Chain A
Amino acid sequence: KNEVEQSPQNLTAQEGEFITINCSYSVGISALHWLQQHPGGGIVSLFMLSSGKKKHGRLIATINIQEKHSSLHITASHPRDSAVYICAVAEYGNKLVFGAGTILRVKS
């Protein structure tokens, strides 16, 4: 079993829909990261959180430390949100262990 599990693996949504991507992990962590990777390959850090909830524009990330679960929500999705979303957990120090990613496609 992988230390970090993401679901779904693939997601197709219509423009304007509310999107949720889930991440579960099995190890003790100091923080959880959500990353976005566009088709060109570049990786952008969206959130780093260790408790509660963070919001940035149309993106919201939540984490439940007791349940070892995090969600990334996208409100009012747009085709430009199409990308791979990767959950990563920070073990000791800041060493990241990555999920397999969720491929999101938003259709107009």
Chain B
Amino acid sequence: DSGVTQTPKHLITATGQRVTLRCSPRSGDLSVYWYQQSLDQGLQFLIQYYNGEERAKGNILERFSAQQFPDLHSELNLSSLELGDSALYFCASSDRDDEQFFGPGTRLTVL
């Protein structure tokens, strides 16, 4: 158990819908990272937050947004969903630029 929690585990929704994925980092970790793992693209970095502020941005679509709250949990919002958004979404946390600990992931299926 990495200490990082993600909810929900599975999510099935329809095209055009909006969903929110939630991540709670390990106790004391200020950095939260979001990653997408799809069959065709592999693992890709989406976005990083550090202590509530956006720190780095990767291949995150404009339809996607994220935030980190004062209690350090983070949410990834995916809107106007398309079939191609079906993937595993991982959250990870770290203390500064240290080893990252991954959550169990949320499997999103868009029908």
Contact = CB atoms under 8 A, between A and B. Distances in A.
Interface of A: 30-31, 33, 35, 41-45, 48, 86, 88, 90, 92-98, 100-101
B64 to A, nearest CB: 16
A31 B68 CA distance: 25
A93 B100 CA distance: 12
Instruction: Identify whether the interface residues of A are mostly helix, strand, loop, or mixed.
Output: strand
Contact of B102 (A45, A90, A100): A45
Q: Which of B31, B55, B100 has the most CB of A within 10 A?
A: B100
Interface bin, chain B: 20 to 34
B62 interface: no
A7 to B, nearest CB: 15
A93 B97 contact: yes
9 contacts: A31-B97, A42-B105, A45-B99, A48-B100, A90-B97, A94-B56, A94-B97, A94-B100, A95-B33
Nearest to A96: B45
Given A43-B90, A101-B42, A93 B105 contact: no
Interface in B84-111: 88, 90, 92, 94, 96-102, 104-105, 107
Interface string B59-100: 000000000000000000000000000001010101011111
Contact of A94 (B42, B94, B102, B105): B94
A95 B45 contact: yes
